[in-house]
Chains A and B, each alone.
Chain A
Amino acid sequence: MSGTPDDTKPVNFTVKAPVYLQIGDAKADTAHSGVCVVDVNLPFGKPVNIEEVTFKNYYTAYVTVRLLRRNPEQEAPAKWCTAVRDLPLMDNPHTEGGSQDYYTIHRTQMQVEPDHVVCARLILRQPSLAWLTFSLEDIQIFPHTEPDPEKEVSDWLSDLTLTDQHPDLEGLPDPQTVSSSIQQMWALTEVMQTNQTTASIGRFDVSETHSQPHLSCNECVHDGGDVITFGR
């Protein structure tokens, strides 16, 4: 995946305060219309090609994304277009499902190519009267980077085969040293076997090194001669 939020920085922009549209005279006691507009002004003079928009929902039911695009080649004035219309964020506007979830709108989900974008406008709708307020939080816009062909393939592969996370080896010796010492021991036993004696090895001593109760333990499972350790 090119342009993932992990390796691209979001675009710096200013978000204007959300404007809640109201019916009737602003001064009189107004009813909430359930529509809110959030303007996102991208840095002046630097149109952005958008890869994806991420945000955290706060009780918004539907979001519409409109983009102001200015084509650099033509001298035509910038035009507004709708990228996403009424994307449902909550299954049911009256209930909690999806109300505080994180969302991503990728450029492939947009109806137009989000290139050379100067300004974005998010229109939030929450028709239900059950909520006192609604908004979007943590809005971030990630720019589209032209993918390096080779890099793209390896990114895709690395997504499929997540690197082996090293199991929790706290308190255990380093596996490399253990395996090299086991190798030495194995060589020694081979030597011993060729020079068999009847002398006994001697008794073993096990010392109690712990005085506190263990409440969690790493488990060792013997499996046909191999010792597999895995921590939980």
Chain B
Amino acid sequence: MDEGIELSLTIAQIIQRLRGSHLHSQIERQAKECLHQPDVKLESLKEDVRSFLKTSGWERKLQNAVYRELHIQLPPRHPPAPPEHLKEPLVYMRKAQASWEKRVLKSLNSMSTELGVPLAHMRPAAEQKELTNKWNEMGTDEPDLSRFRPVYAPKDFLEVLIGLRNPNHDSSEDISVRSHWGLIQVPLNVRDIPHLREAYSELNLTSGQMGIDDHALIHPDLFENEYVQIGKKVVMEEDSAAAQQYSRQGCPTGLRADLWALILNATNQPQDVMHYEQLKAGVIQHNLLVDNLIYKDVKLTASNDDYYFVFEDFLYQVLLCFSRDTAVLEHFKYNSATPPKSYIQGKVGDEECAVVYPPNGVIPFHGFSMYVAPLCFLYNEPSKLYNVFREMYIRYFFRLHSISSHASGILSLCLQFERLLQTHLPQLFYHLRQIGVQPLRLAFKWMVRAFSGYLSTDQLLLLWDRILGYDSLEVVAVLAAAVFAFRAENLMEVTSLASAEAVLADLSTLKVMPLIQVFLFATAM
């Protein structure tokens, strides 16, 4: 498509999305009020109003809103392309995703029938009152969750990814021996170290990094003080794009919360707070089956974690509201997944009687609460925490548990991990295969959670700084390969799966930025 036409279509799409939004009405009101100002003259009305909006910061807010829309925008559609094509262009992946979803839904439905728990039911008034009183301490509740089990675990999903085959792919023996080393058999385009060096140039050995050059033993004047000053300026300017660029070299701890909120454009406006309160009211009114899954997941994962157990209550407050947020349904336009529908009893198949279940279309799996847990360190106000999490989910985390050919999708990350290992640590890969260990089986659980729960929190937040800064999850695959490179000597000496797992069991002492930097920029080519 012609570039000029593409650009005007993009502009039209963004205008349509922003028109009628709260920001639009705010800017209109500001423009009307500024007419009272003495320096706004009738002859040059347009320019004066524009310059007023610029100096009062409203133009910047609009820029941030446009920048946010660009992040989640669909590419312009060719007229014959159906909407499924935008979700996922490859037909066989769409089919695989659909059959995976059927399995998950079947599991959920059978759990509902077995346990006799309805998918959704209204809470009796007494229970509603009790929940309202206990809203801030839901963690003290000890409901009987022994009958519930997670709908699926990451390792089930891994089996689906491993079984994925392109029907048009010639997989006869002599084509590509390398592809038979690893588990992923789909020929996606993943970047190797030379390309990664170009793309991640801000991480190179000559640039200062938070996570390396802010170490206690290094004098702060060498890097840290100046970097923090720049950070403060970025926060004051309230510019999303600048914050994203800044975050590539890491965020200082004191500024991280503001910087992330800027990058995600998660401003905590009154209507966001009100939206959150509405969701909270929804939680109190109705009980969903997925609520029990969330409880179970939090109890199994976050509550058992040394770093995150204190945030148990926050996790309930965020995740229960998340399940009921229909605004999340928008992201299914570019997510290869489709939200499950449930039908009013007796009317299966009638689209008019279909509702999406759960209301946000996302069925939580084992470990889902770990996406939220690290954010609790940054935000203590529930509605802000909720907004930041929701934005992070619809931009990045959804790609970690759906089958897609996207460069940040979990399939590409797995393939990239395997390729990096095969190319730069072939001896290690071969040795592990000899003892019957597939490296992906060890690294998959890290990547699916974006390392949440495996790294110590300060290191994890440094990693997530880069995810936000580069708008891509690739760095997760790079880190996984870098961890293997770091522990290569130990891994070369193991002789069984159990000992390999033991070598990689504890990542809490790792420093992520030196590992990534060395792997990308100091690996011999």
Q: In the complex, are the beta carbons of A95 and B188 less than 8 A apart?
A: yes
* Complex: chain B residue closest to A95, CB-CB: B189
If A102-B80, A129-B170, A140-B80 touch, whether A232 touches B16 (CB-CB below 8 Å) is: no
Count contacts on A: residues with CB < 8 A to the other chain: 47
CB-CB under 8 A from A108, the residues of chain B are 2
Interface residue A130 (Cβ < 8 Å from any Cβ of B): yes
Q: In the complex, are the beta carbons of B79 and A5 less than 8 A apart?
A: yes
CB-CB under 8 A from B19, the residues of chain A are 164
Q: In the complex, are the beta carbons of A232 and B80 less than 8 A apart?
A: no
Contact of A130 among B22, B169, B326 (CB under 8 A): B169
Chain B: interface residue count, which band?
35 or more
Residues 96-134 of A at the B interface (beta carbon under 8 Å):
96-97, 99-104, 106, 108, 129-133
Complex Cα–Cα for A129 and B5 (A): 36
Q: List 14 other contacts, CB 8 Å, given A56-B80, A103-B78, A221-B274.
A: A54-B80, A59-B168, A91-B189, A97-B188, A101-B89, A106-B1, A131-B169, A159-B8, A161-B12, A164-B19, A167-B20, A212-B344, A215-B324, A215-B355
Interface residue A230 (Cβ < 8 Å from any Cβ of B): yes
Interface residue B70 (Cβ < 8 Å from any Cβ of A): no
Q: In the complex, are the beta carbons of A54 and B11 less than 8 A apart?
A: no
CB-CB under 8 A from B11, the residues of chain A are 160
Complex Cα–Cα for A178 and B1 (A): 44
Contact of B286 among A101, A129, A213 (CB under 8 A): A213
Q: In the complex, are the beta carbons of B2 and A106 less than 8 A apart?
A: yes
Contact of B189 among A4, A97, A159, A216 (CB under 8 A): A97
B389 to chain A, nearest CB (A): 18
Contact with B along A1-16 (1 / 0, CB 8 A): 1001110000000000
If A102-B78, A129-B175, A221-B271 touch, whether A162 touches B16 (CB-CB below 8 Å) is: yes
Interface residue A26 (Cβ < 8 Å from any Cβ of B): no
Interface residue A201 (Cβ < 8 Å from any Cβ of B): no
CB-CB under 8 A from B78, the residues of chain A are 54, 102-104
Contact with B along A137-167 (1 / 0, CB 8 A): 0101000000000000000000111101101
Complex Cα–Cα for A133 and B286 (A): 53
Q: In the complex, are the beta carbons of B90 and A216 less than 8 A apart?
A: no
If A91-B189, A132-B168 touch, whether A213 touches B12 (CB-CB below 8 Å) is: no
Interface residue B91 (Cβ < 8 Å from any Cβ of A): yes
B340 to chain A, nearest CB (A): 12
Query: Mostly helix, strand, loop or mixed at chain A's interface?
Result: loop
Interface residue B196 (Cβ < 8 Å from any Cβ of A): no
B65 to chain A, nearest CB (A): 16
Complex Cα–Cα for A133 and B167 (A): 10
A52 to chain B, nearest CB (A): 10
Measured CB to CB, the residues of B under 8 A from A are: 1-2, 5, 8-9, 11-13, 15-16, 19-20, 22, 25, 78-81, 85, 89-91, 120-122, 166, 168-170, 175-176, 186-189, 271, 274-275, 278, 285-286, 324, 326-327, 329-330, 344, 355-359, 405
* Complex: chain B residue closest to A10, CB-CB: B80
Complex Cα–Cα for A129 and B275 (A): 54
Interface residue A181 (Cβ < 8 Å from any Cβ of B): no
* Complex: chain A residue closest to B174, CB-CB: A129
CB-CB under 8 A from A132, the residues of chain B are 168-170
Residues 58-108 of A at the B interface (beta carbon under 8 Å):
58-59, 91-92, 94-97, 99-104, 106, 108
Complex Cα–Cα for A102 and B16 (A): 25
Complex Cα–Cα for A104 and B3 (A): 13
Interface residue A217 (Cβ < 8 Å from any Cβ of B): yes
If A216-B326, A216-B355, A232-B327 touch, whether A130 touches B176 (CB-CB below 8 Å) is: yes
B190 to chain A, nearest CB (A): 8
Q: In the complex, are the beta carbons of B169 and A221 less than 8 A apart?
A: no
CB-CB under 8 A from A219, the residues of chain B are 275, 278
Interface residue A25 (Cβ < 8 Å from any Cβ of B): no
CB-CB under 8 A from B81, the residues of chain A are 102
B401 to chain A, nearest CB (A): 20
Q: In the complex, are the beta carbons of A213 and B356 less than 8 A apart?
A: no
Complex Cα–Cα for A165 and B90 (A): 30
Contact of B329 among A1, A213, A232 (CB under 8 A): A232
Q: In the complex, are the beta carbons of A131 and B344 less than 8 A apart?
A: no
Interface residue A228 (Cβ < 8 Å from any Cβ of B): yes
CB-CB under 8 A from B329, the residues of chain A are 232
CB-CB under 8 A from A221, the residues of chain B are 22, 271, 274
Contact of A232 among B1, B89, B166, B330 (CB under 8 A): B330
Complex Cα–Cα for A164 and B20 (A): 10
Cβ contacts A to B, 20 pairs, < 8 Å: A4-B79, A59-B168, A92-B189, A94-B187, A95-B189, A96-B166, A104-B1, A130-B175, A130-B176, A131-B169, A160-B11, A162-B13, A162-B16, A167-B20, A212-B344, A213-B286, A215-B324, A216-B355, A221-B274, A223-B25
CB-CB under 8 A from A1, the residues of chain B are 5
Complex Cα–Cα for A202 and B375 (A): 50
Q: In the complex, are the beta carbons of B359 and A96 less than 8 A apart?
A: no
* Complex: chain B residue closest to A92, CB-CB: B189
Complex Cα–Cα for A213 and B120 (A): 8
Complex Cα–Cα for A119 and B79 (A): 24
A124 to chain B, nearest CB (A): 14
Complex Cα–Cα for A160 and B9 (A): 7
CB-CB under 8 A from A97, the residues of chain B are 188-189
A120 to chain B, nearest CB (A): 18
B198 to chain A, nearest CB (A): 16
Q: In the complex, are the beta carbons of A215 and B359 less than 8 A apart?
A: yes
CB-CB under 8 A from A162, the residues of chain B are 12-13, 15-16
B384 to chain A, nearest CB (A): 19
* Complex: chain B residue closest to A98, CB-CB: B89
